[in-house]
Structure 1
C-alpha cells in the first residue's frame, strides 16, 4: 500500500469514527449509589435538592438500583463532578 492509499484509508477510518462518536452515547458518569430501591430514592431525592445543576438519573439493573450522573463526553468533566460530590458521597466512583 503506498502512502496515498494509506492516507485515504486513514481518512476514511477517521470519518467513520467521527460519525460514530456523534451518535454514540458513550461517556463517563459518576455512580453515586448502587443498591436497594429505598436508599436509591433517598440518595436521588437528596442529591437533586442539594445539587440542582448536576443532572442525575435513577435506574434499575436487576438486582440493584443505581443513582448516577448523566454521561459526560470526557473523563475530565466527570472528574470535575466527582470532586464536587465526593465529600458527601465518599463511595462515588467514575464509570
Structure 2
C-alpha cells in the first residue's frame, strides 16, 4: 500500500526539495507495479485514509474497508455506514470507502 504509493512517486521522477521541484530521472512502471496499485491493496488504502485522518484501525473498521473493496452490490455505501457506526466522520468515511473501491 504505502510502498506502491512511494514507488509511484519515485517512478514519476520528481523530488520536492525545499519547495523546489527537481527532476530525479525517469522510469516507467512495470506491469506488476501498476497491478499492485490497483489490486488487493484497496482495503489497505481505506485503512491508510483512516489512519492518516486520526482514526485507529479496529476490527470493525478493517471489516468495513474489506467490504468497500469487495464486488458486493452497494459495497461503498455499506462500508460508509459501517464506518459511521464506529464514529468515523462522514467525510473521512466517504473518502476511505471510495479509496477501497478504486
Would you say same fold, with TM above 0.5? no
TM-score (norm 2): 0.30
Structure richer in helix, relative to its length: 2
The structure whose RCO (Cα within 8 Å, separation 6+) is larger is 1
TM-score (norm 1): 0.32
Task: Point out the structure with max Rg over C-alpha.
Answer: 1
Structure richer in strand, relative to its length: 1
